[in-house]
Amino acid sequence: MDNKAANRLQDLQYFGEFGGINPSISDSSTYTFLSAKTMFDTFEGNTEGCYLYSRHSSPSNLYLGEALAALEGTETANVYASGMGAISSVIMQLCNADDHIVSSRTIYGGSYALLKNFIKKFGIHTSFVDITSIAEVEQAINPRTKMIYCESVSNPLLEVADIKALAHLAKKHGIPLVVDNTFSPLSIAPAKLGADIVIHSLTKFINGTSDCVAGAVCGTTDFCLSLKDVNNGAGMLMGSTLDSLRAASILKNIRTLHIRMQKHSGNALYLAEKFENEGFRVVYPGLASHQGHEVMKKQMNADYGFGGLLTLDVGSLENANALMELMQIEKIGYLAVSLGFYKTLFSAPGTSTSSEIPLEEQMEMGLSNGLIRFSIGLDNDIERTFKMIVECMRQLEIKPLSVTT
Ligand code: PLP
């Protein structure tokens, strides 16, 4: 458990060019050198503190990278133009043709499609496993396996990965554990639990204002530098680098992450408990009824709660769609994908963010078509929000499903 991440973030202090309280934004794609020799040395990676070209790095990206390394307790971090840009860079950096990945089967639909379909083009194959079964994960590892990949709290089923146990297994087999921590910044610190590489979609809680896409890879200095290598770096050569203007705006937003996470989590726990008491089939890692509750308690930082995501099964896609439309009319939130916004966002993952997963596989993993994923907002009066949702359900005659059906 890491209680110091918010303090480390708070202590990161940068001054602008004229003594400003925010660092100056690097508004350049390229940088001058006083000598041709220094330019050559910089290309060769032999010059500390010199900037070359903003696809390689920029001062604004380095500031944000330092903040993310402070958040995750890693040596350093690189920032990318999206979460998928970060994920694909890590995969392409670690895998060659004919290599193999063991991945949790419940991950964000885009990551699933990347692993299942897209990287097959390059001869990289993935075995999808139940990440909560360490035995099943171990069985899937073969001599060509180059990483174990999972989400600390999975999208959309909210399965909780036992990161310590997975890190132990990865070490035993000499492969890295790569964890996407998008759903649980501050709550879970995967690197502190033994993960080798931590990925974020900054698009979500970390930025928190749903105004851009961005991503990050947090890890060792060696690995992050390898991603930037001018000859062999996946980040540098595939070009998914974040723009400096965005890096600067995300750095400002990350300053309030600790307060936002507490509010998101507090509001989500309140709603989850209320829904459960009413007999609704609700999934939230903060409920004792959740399969991963004990694992989450063991590895989380209690100050930031169990996260802002919960799912509610309302029985059918028709019910889910009608409820989401009505909740939007009633200003409870927006019928939109993504998460981590100040306003509640809801979507039916089976027909949206997880639609890349074939129907039979959705059923197998328990992704029912009446499932609504909620990213709970920063509502000031969550009791009022609960009453409003219940009123929407009453109008649509949506009744609690028996928990056992
Ligand atoms: N990881 C998780 C857990 C996500 O939910 C998402 C997007 O929804 C991503 C990665 C991809 O991030 P981005 O949309 O920033 O590329």
Provide the 10 A C-beta neighbour count for residue 45. 15
Q: Which of 141, 123, 135 is nearest to 177 (CA)?
A: 141
- The domains located in the chain, with CATH, are 4-254 (3.40.640.10), 257-404 (3.90.1150.10)
Do residues 266 and 284 lie in contact, with contact meaning Cβ atoms separated by under 8 Å? Answer: no
Q: Is the CB of 110 under 6 A from ligand 1?
A: yes
Residue 107 CA: which ligand 1 atom is closest?
Answer: 3
- The alpha carbon of 203 and the centre of ligand 1 are apart by a number of angstroms equal to 7
State whether the Cα torsion 185-334-110-268 is positive or negative: positive
pLDDT at 355: 83
Mean pLDDT along residues 353-371: 84
Ligand 1 binding pocket includes 23 (Cβ within 6 Å): no
The H-assigned helical ranges of 127-183 are 134-140, 163-172
Determine the Cα–Cα distance for residues 255 and 218; give it in Å rounded to an integer.
18
Cβ neighbours of residue 230 closer than 8 Å, sequence gap 6 or more: 43, 45, 56, 236
Q: Would you call 197 helix, strand, or coil by DSSP? A: strand
Residues 303, 307, 102: CA angle, nearest 5 degrees: 115
User: pLDDT confidence of 361, banded at 50, 70, 90?
Assistant: confident
DSSP state of 126: E
β 100-104/125-129 pair status: parallel
pLDDT at 1 over 70: no
Token duo for residue 243: 């723009």
Residue range 11-46, pLDDT digits in tens? 999 999 999 999 999 999 999 999 999 888 888 777
Percentage of the chain surpassing pLDDT 70?
Answer: 99
What's the pLDDT at 352? Answer: 81
Query: 354: helix, coil or strand?
Result: coil
Asked which of 31-40, 41-50, 136-145, 308-317 is least confident by mean pLDDT, the reply is 41-50
Ligand 1 lined by 83 (C-beta under 6 Å): yes
CA-215 nearest atom, ligand 1: 15
Residue 84 Cα to ligand 1 middle (Å): 6
Burial class (CB in 10 A: 0-12, 13-18, 19+), 336: middle
Q: Alpha-carbon distance 283 to 273, whole Å?
A: 10
By alpha-carbon position, which residue is closest to atom 2 of ligand 1?
A: 108
Mean pLDDT, residues 308-314: 97
Residue 44: predicted pLDDT: 79
pLDDT of residue 201 exceeding 60, the answer is yes
Among 263, 360, 371, 364, smallest CA distance to 313 is for 371
104 lines ligand 1 (CB under 6 A): no
Comparing C-alpha atoms, which of 156, 105, 68 is closest to residue 348? 156
Nearest CA to ligand 1 atom 8: 338
Is residue 402 pLDDT above 70, yes or no? no
Q: What is the CA radius of gyration of the chain?
A: 22
365 or 132: which leads in pLDDT = 132
Atom of ligand 1 nearest to the CA of 183: 3
Q: Measured between alpha carbons, how far is 346 from 331 in angstroms, rounded to an integer? A: 12
Q: Which of 200, 204, 341 to mutate to test the pocket of ligand 1 (most atoms within 8 A of CB)?
A: 204
Q: What is the pLDDT of residue 405?
A: 41
Residue located via tokens 């909560």: 132
For residues 340-352, average pLDDT: 93
Q: How far apart are CA 330 and CA 320, in angstroms?
A: 15
CA distance 309 to 302: 16
Q: Is 301 in the pocket of ligand 1 (CB under 6 A)?
A: no
Which of 107, 183, 203, 213 to probe ligand 1 with, by most ligand atoms within 8 A of CB?
A: 203
Average pLDDT score, the chain? 95
Task: Report the distance separating Cα 72 and Cα 163, nearest Å.
Answer: 14
Instruction: Please tell me the predicted confidence (pLDDT) of residue 261.
Output: 98
Please name which of 160, 217, 156, 210 lies closest in space to residue 187, comparing C-alpha atoms. Answer: 160
Per-residue pLDDT band for 266 (boundaries 50, 70, 90) equals: very high
Q: How confident is the model at residue 400 (pLDDT cuts 50, 70, 90)?
A: confident
Separation of alpha carbons 197 and 322, rounded Å = 40
pLDDT at residue 23, as a whole number: 96
pLDDT at 404 over 60: no
**pLDDT score for 27:** 95
| Residue 26 in contact with ligand 1 by CB distance below 6 A | no
For residues 346 and 372, the answer to whether their CB atoms sit within 8 Å is yes
Ligand 1 centroid to Cα of residue 188, in Å, is 17
In this predicted structure, the answer to whether residue 403 has a pLDDT above a threshold of 60 is no
| pLDDT, average across residues 340-360 | 89
Instruction: For ligand 1, atom 14, name the residue with the nearest CA.
Output: 83
With a 6 Å cutoff on the Cβ, whether 180 touches ligand 1 is yes
Could you report the per-residue pLDDT of 209-241, keeping only the tens digit for each? Answer: 999 999 999 999 999 999 999 999 999 999 999
| The pair of three-digit structure tokens given for residue 6, joined into one six-digit string | 């918010």
Cα–Cα distance, 139 to 168 (Å, whole number): 15
Show Cβ contacts of residue 227 under 8 Å, excluding neighbours closer than 6 positions: 78, 89, 90, 93, 217, 233, 234, 235, 236
What is the maximal distance between C-alpha atoms in the chain? Answer: 74
CB of 2 closer than 6 angstroms to any ligand 1 atom: no
Binding site membership of 156 for ligand 1 (Cβ less than 6 Å)? no
Q: Which of 177, 41, 173 is nearest to 104 (CA)?
A: 177
- The pLDDT score that the predictor gives to residue 47 is 75
CB distance 213 to ligand 1 below 6 Å: yes
Give residue 366's pLDDT: 79
